[in-house]
């Protein structure tokens, strides 16, 4: 299948990929974006005083240079050196995600922010303690009073952080430039990889589709023969949901190793090897998991395409960096 055919099919399905054609981001009616709120959220995002022992911030696990992931670390490290159980996902284009966390347990960015702030093995601080701490900092008291009518509350802390996170838009990769008409933006190998990716032979597009290259669906990708992390089943208590996790965006994926929900696969090559062999013999494996029979050359082309999803401007944009 040629990419032109795959692209036509995707467009007919109501999906538009090209740069500048992202859908309008949904903004909660009770948390409209304002410049002042975004800047407050940016300051909070980088402030280690949001953790119980003042040692880590949101940015500790979501670093801009790694597309707002914790690249190089299989799982995140919380206060007192405690290790979590899951890999920190990218925050690129997170404002469009329909649900958050690897099992999709949070319906909004505002609610999601509560998780790591209060989790004992992450930032580990009680909401009342955090509110009291920030109220004792004059610049925060003043900023919250000017942004929110009810001032500094836990809800408003998460509202501000969410507002900043909604600005983290990544759409300037070579792939985006290619779709916008620059035929030289991607190498010939990357173009071949793109055709494989969106064709039945590569079979990647069934899960990684749309402007953000994710269908948002949950799948068991047969990572292991058993499911030490129950995934979606933690919410539903259904055995059939064991090992199901949300399909992540693969934008900037070359920057975000290691991979999978538990960070257990170290390189893109090994990720593709996993899918090429059809995964492990897991009883809950998704029906899409099957041996692909791709050659070494085809896998190499796919990797070149995945590298073309890197948005260097996103990782260097001063609007997203720590405030000075």
For 248, residues 6+ apart whose C-beta sits below 8 A from its C-beta are 89, 90, 214
Mean pLDDT of 28-41: 98
Residue 249 DSSP label: P
Q: How is residue 270 written in tokens?
A: 């090994």
For 20, residues 6+ apart whose C-beta sits below 8 A from its C-beta are 171, 180
* Calculated CA dihedral for residues 265, 271, 276, 278, nearest 10 degrees: 50
Angle at 162 between CA 76 and CA 155, to 5 degrees: 100
pLDDT(62) > 80: yes
- What distance in Å separates the CA atoms of residue 258 and residue 75, rounded to the nearest whole number? 9
- What distance in Å separates the CA atoms of residue 45 and residue 217, rounded to the nearest whole number? 28
pLDDT score at 21: 74
pLDDT band with cut points at 50, 70 and 90 for residue 105: very high
Mean pLDDT of 125-138: 98
Mean pLDDT of 8-23: 45
pTM: 0.93
Query: pLDDT (tens digit, 9 = 90+) per residue, 275-324?
Result: 999 999 999 999 999 999 999 999 999 999 999 999 999 999 999 999 98
Beta carbons within 10 angstroms of residue 209's beta carbon: 22
- What distance in Å separates the CA atoms of residue 67 and residue 98, rounded to the nearest whole number? 19
Q: How is residue 14 written in tokens?
A: 């109501």
pLDDT(178) > 90: yes
- What distance in Å separates the CA atoms of residue 271 and residue 264, rounded to the nearest whole number? 10
- What distance in Å separates the CA atoms of residue 102 and residue 87, rounded to the nearest whole number? 9
Across the chain, what does the average pLDDT equal?
Answer: 93
Mean pLDDT of 235-247: 98
pLDDT(2) > 70: no
| Owner of token pair 């090897």 | 273
pLDDT(60) > 90: yes
Q: How is residue 78 written in tokens?
A: 């919380």
pLDDT(14) > 60: no
pLDDT score at 12: 28
Cis amide bond preceding 292, omega within 30: no
pLDDT(254) > 50: yes
Q: How is residue 184 written in tokens?
A: 């030289």
Q: Contact 242/186 with Cβ under 8 angstroms?
A: no
- Angle separating helix axes 109-118 and 154-165, nearest 10 degrees: 110
Name residue 63's beta-bridge partners. 69
For 4, residues 6+ apart whose C-beta sits below 8 A from its C-beta are none
Q: How is residue 49 written in tokens?
A: 């005083």
pLDDT score at 221: 98
- What distance in Å separates the CA atoms of residue 140 and residue 128, rounded to the nearest whole number? 15
- What distance in Å separates the CA atoms of residue 324 and residue 315, rounded to the nearest whole number? 17
| Owner of token pair 């402030």 | 47
pLDDT(36) > 60: yes
Q: H or E segment at 88?
A: none
Domains of the chain: 3-21+171-315 (1.10.760.10), 35-101+109-167 (1.10.760.10)
Q: Contact 140/7 with Cβ under 8 angstroms?
A: no
Q: How far is CA 57 from CA 94, 116, 126, 157, 171, in A?
A: 18, 10, 15, 13, 26
């Amino acid at each position: 299948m040629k990419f032109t055919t795959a692209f036509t099919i995707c467009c007919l399905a109501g999906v538009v990929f090209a740069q500048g054609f992202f859908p309008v981001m949904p903004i909660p009616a009770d948390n409209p974006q304002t410049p002042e709120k975004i800047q407050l959220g940016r300051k909070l995002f980088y402030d280690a005083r949001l953790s119980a022992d003042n040692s880590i911030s949101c940015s500790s696990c979501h670093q801009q240079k790694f597309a707002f992931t914790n690249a190089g670390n299989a799982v995140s490290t919380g206060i007192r050196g405690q290790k979590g159980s899951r890999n920190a996902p990218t925050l690129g284009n997170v404002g469009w995600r329909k649900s958050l966390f690897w099992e999709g347990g949070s319906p909004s960015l505002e609610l999601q922010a509560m998780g790591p702030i209060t989790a004992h093995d992450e930032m580990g601080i009680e909401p009342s303690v955090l509110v009291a701490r920030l109220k004792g900092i004059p610049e925060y008291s003043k900023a919250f009073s000017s942004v929110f009518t009810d001032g500094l509350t836990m809800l408003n802390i998460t509202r501000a952080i969410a507002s900043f996170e909604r600005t983290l838009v990544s759409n300037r990769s070579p792939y985006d430039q290619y779709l916008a008409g620059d035929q030289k933006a991607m190498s010939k190998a990357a173009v071949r990889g793109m055709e494989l990716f969106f064709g039945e032979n590569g079979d990647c597009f069934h899960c990684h589709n749309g402007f953000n290259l994710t269908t948002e669906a949950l799948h068991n990708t047969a990572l292991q023969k058993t499911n030490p992390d129950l995934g979606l089943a933690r919410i539903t208590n259904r055995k059939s949901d064991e090992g199901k996790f949300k399909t992540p965006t693969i934008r900037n994926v070359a920057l975000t190793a290691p991979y999978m929900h538990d960070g257990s696969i170290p390189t893109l090559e090994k990720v593709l090897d996993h899918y090429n062999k059809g995964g492990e013999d897991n009883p809950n494996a998704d029906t899409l998991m099957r041996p692909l029979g791709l050659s070494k050359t085809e896998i190499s082309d796919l990797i070149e395409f995945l590298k073309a999803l890197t948005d260097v401007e996103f990782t260097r944009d001063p609007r997203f960096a720590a405030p000075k």
